Structures are given as C-alpha cells and as structure tokens.
C-alpha cells in the first residue's frame, strides 16, 4: 500500500477532483446540449429522459447551487461545433485544470463512430470569463476528427480539479 495521504472521497493524491458529464444529441452535425428530466411528483411522460437544455441568457450568470440545470445542463453552459469533430464547450464554473476527457456514444442501432476524445488545447481557457472553456476533438476509429452519427447521444466526461484548491 502506498505510504501517502490520499483524498478520502476518491483515493486520489489530487484534492478536489470533480467530474462534469455533458450530454449532447446530434441534430445532423450540430450538437445540442441536453438536460436530464428528473422525476417529480406528478411528472408527465418526460421524466427520466433527456430534452434540449434551456439556452442560457449569458455564460457566467448566477445559477445558484440548486438551479444548475435550469440554465444549461449539470455544469455545462453551451457547446459549439467549430469544424468536423471539433467542439468548444463552456462550463458553468471555472476550474484549476483539466485532468482528462472521455467520450461515449449512444444510438438506437449499430455502432457509434466516435471512439475517443482529446483536448484541443489551442481553444481551452480554464480562466475564461463566465466559466472554463474546453476545446474537444472527437476522433473516429481511423484517428481523424469526425462528427458523431446524426441523432446519436454523445456523453463527454470532463475530469477537473476544482479552482478553489491552492
């Protein structure tokens, strides 16, 4: 066993590691940010499904600790496609640094065409006004940037270190 002090919650040497999952549905080649519809008393048929997230008035607007899903989706403000397989994702908060980017794809039938995600560091800006900006490159099996299959859902996980860590 290692002779170090690890964070008690995730057994990491790094303190205050957090994960943000952005879910995007492809409308042709355009990613549309999704939010999860949590079940509530008397909820209709939309509970436990995804729907398009509300468009935020502006990045960095105060969302409060319990209203994070009302102004975007679970920590993500927006997503913009800049070229085939290249996205710019703006988060609702600022973070110290990006630790990793992972991707998975969900579609009704067949195989997803996206197998990996990388950071496009020429776009990323962790200290951007209104929340960290992360450039994401989505790669096909051939290693080239590619757009996900139309109508599929793409889940991108960002592992980040919280900006409050000294």
The larger pLDDT score, comparing residue 41 to residue 64, is at: 41
Please choose, from the candidates 19, 2, 6, the residue with its C-alpha nearest in 3D space to the C-alpha of residue 93.
19
Q: How far, in Å, CA of 63 to CA of 8, rounded?
A: 29
**Per-residue confidence band for 9, with pLDDT thresholds at 50, 70 and 90:** low
Mean pLDDT of 30-45: 79
Decide if 11 is inside a domain.
no
Q: How far, in Å, CA of 128 to CA of 107, rounded?
A: 33
**Per-residue confidence band for 70, with pLDDT thresholds at 50, 70 and 90:** low
Decide if 1 is inside a domain.
no
Q: How far, in Å, CA of 115 to CA of 51, rounded?
A: 24
∠ CA(60), CA(152), CA(50), 5° rounding?
55
Residue 70 has φ and ψ, to the nearest 5°, of: -85, -10
Task: Tell me: pLDDT of 163 over 80.
Answer: no
The larger pLDDT score, comparing residue 7 to residue 48, is at: 48
pLDDT of residue 92: 86
Task: Tell me: pLDDT of 65 over 70.
Answer: no
The DSSP symbol for 145 reads: B
Residues 6+ apart with CB under 8 A from 122: 135
pLDDT of residue 17: 83
CB 148 within 8 A of CB 154: yes
The DSSP symbol for 123 reads: T
Decide if 106 is inside a domain.
yes
**How confident is the prediction for the chain on average, in pLDDT?**
83
pLDDT tens-digit series, residues 95-137: 999 999 999 999 888 888 999 999 999 999 999 988 899 999 9
Q: How far, in Å, CA of 4 to CA of 60, rounded?
A: 37
User: What's the number of domains the chain is made of?
Assistant: 1
Task: Tell me: pLDDT of 61 over 70.
Answer: no
pLDDT of residue 130: 84
**Percentage of the chain with pLDDT > 70?**
76
Decide if 7 is inside a domain.
no
Task: Tell me: pLDDT of 150 over 60.
Answer: yes
pLDDT of residue 93: 87
Q: How far, in Å, CA of 87 to CA of 149, rounded?
A: 15
């Amino acid at each position: 066993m290692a002779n170090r002090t690890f964070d008690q919650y995730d057994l990491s040497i790094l303190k205050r590691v957090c994960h943000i999952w952005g879910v995007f549905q492809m409308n042709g080649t355009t990613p549309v940010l999704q939010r999860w519809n949590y079940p509530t008393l008397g909820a209709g048929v939309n509970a436990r499904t995804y729907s398009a997230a509300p468009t935020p008035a502006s990045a960095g607007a105060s969302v409060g600790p319990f209203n994070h899903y009302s102004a975007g989706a679970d920590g993500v403000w927006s997503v913009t496609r800049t070229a085939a397989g290249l996205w710019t994702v703006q988060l609702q908060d600022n973070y110290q640094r990006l630790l990793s980017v992972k991707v998975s794809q969900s579609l009704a039938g067949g195989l997803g065409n996206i197998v990996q995600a990388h950071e496009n560091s020429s776009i990323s800006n962790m200290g951007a006004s209104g929340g960290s900006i992360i450039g994401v490159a989505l790669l096909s099996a051939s290693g080239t940037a590619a757009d996900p299959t139309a109508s599929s859902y793409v889940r991108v996980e960002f592992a980040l270190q919280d900006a409050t860590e000294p």
